Structure 1
Amino acid sequence: MFQIGDKVFYPMHGAGMIKAIEDKEIQGEKQSYCVITIPISHMDVMIPLAKMDQLGVRSVVDRDTMNHILFDFHHIEPNSSLPWKERYRLNLEKLKTGKMSDSAEVVRDLMYQNKEKSLNASEKQMLHQAQRNIISEISMINNISENQAADLLKRSS
C-alpha cells in the first residue's frame, strides 16, 4: 500500500511523489484517490487507489538497481535487427510495462538506431518519452534536478 511521501513511477508519465491520499466523490461514486506530483511534467495526477496496480504504478527502483540498469544500458549491445514497425510495437510494449530496465533498453536501442539511420517521427517521440521516464526516475532516486539526472545518464557511458 502506498503512503504520502512515497516516491513512485507512473508509466508514460514518469516518476513522482505521493502528495496526498484523498476521498473524493466523482460522478456519484466515492473513492480514495492518490495525488501524485510529477515534477518532470509539472503536474499533479489523481489516480484511484484501487487502480494503482492496474495502471502499473510502482515504487521507484533503489539506487543499486538503478546503477545496475545504467551499467547494462552502456555495456550491452543494442538490438537493431528488427524492421521499424516490429521494433516500434516491441518498444511500445516495453514502455507500457513501466520497468526502468525496459525504458533503458528502448532508449539504448533507439539511440543506436538513430546513429545508423535517422528515426521516423514516431520513434523520435518514443525516444524522447523513454528518456524523460528514465531521467525522471534517476532524478527522484538521487534527489537531484532533471538536468543533473540527464548529465548522470550521459556520464555513465
Structure 2
Amino acid sequence: MHGAGVIEAIEEKEIQGKRQEYYLITIPISSMQVMIPLAKVTSSSIRAVSDKLAMKNVLHIFHYGESDTSLSWKERYKLNSEKLKSGKLQEGAEVLRDLTRIQNQKALNSSEKQMLLTARKMLISELGLINGITENQATDLLSTSKNV
C-alpha cells in the first residue's frame, strides 16, 4: 500500500536477535525505504512492477470500466480496503476510478478521501516506474491517458 518501489539491495541484518536477509526497497513517490524479510516476500502483497501492456489495459478499465453504485458506504469501504491491500494494480485502479467518480458527485468522508489519495499514489508510482518518468509526468499521463 506504499506504492511501487525499487529493490536497492539485499542485506543481512540482525533484528531482535534474529539474523536474516532483507530486501531494501526504495519507494520513490514517498522517499521512503522499507525492509522486507526475504522469507516473507511470498506471503506479502509484493509483486513485480507491471509492464506497459498491462498498464494500458488497467488505464482502459480506469477510464471506461463500470462502477458499482449500489453499495452502501460501509460495503464500499470494506471492498475498497480489500482491493488496496491486495496490491494488485487493476484493483487499485478500480478504487481510484470509483472514488473519483463519487467525489465528482458529492463530498467523500475523510476515510474515503484518504483511501482515494492512497489509490492515486499507488497507481501514479507504478505508472512512473513503468514509463521511467517523474511523479508529475505520471500524474499528467494519468489524466490524459484516455487516448493511450
Q: TM-score range by the shorter chain?
A: over 0.9
Residue 57 of structure 1 is matched in structure 2 by 46
Match of 1:97 among 86, 99, 103: 86
What are the residue-to-residue correspondences of 1:43-82 with 2, within 5 Å? 43-82=32-71
Q: Which of these residues, 22, 25, 28, is aligned with residue 39 of structure 1?
A: 28
Q: How does 1:7-156 map to 2 (within 5 A)?
A: 12-156=1-145
* Amino acid aligned to 1:67: K
Partner of 1:15: helix, strand, or coil?
coil
Q: Deviations over 1:86-116 (max 9, x none)?
A: 1000000000100000000001100111122
More strand by share: 1
Aligned-residue sequence identity (percent) comes to: 57
Cα separation, 2, equivalents of 1:21 and 1:39 = 18
Gaps in structure 2 of 5+ consecutive residues: none
- What residue ranges of structure 1 are gaps of 5+ in the alignment? 1-11
RMSD of equivalent CA atoms:
0.8
Distance of 2:119 and 2:38 partners within structure 1: 25
How far did residue 43 of structure 1 move? 1.2
Q: Which runs of 4+ in 1 moved over 3 A?
A: none
Give the match's secondary structure for 2:127.
Answer: helix
Higher helix content, 1 or 2: 2
Amino acid at match of 1:29: K
State the number of aligned residues.
146
Instruction: Note the C-alpha offset of 1:77.
Output: 2.1
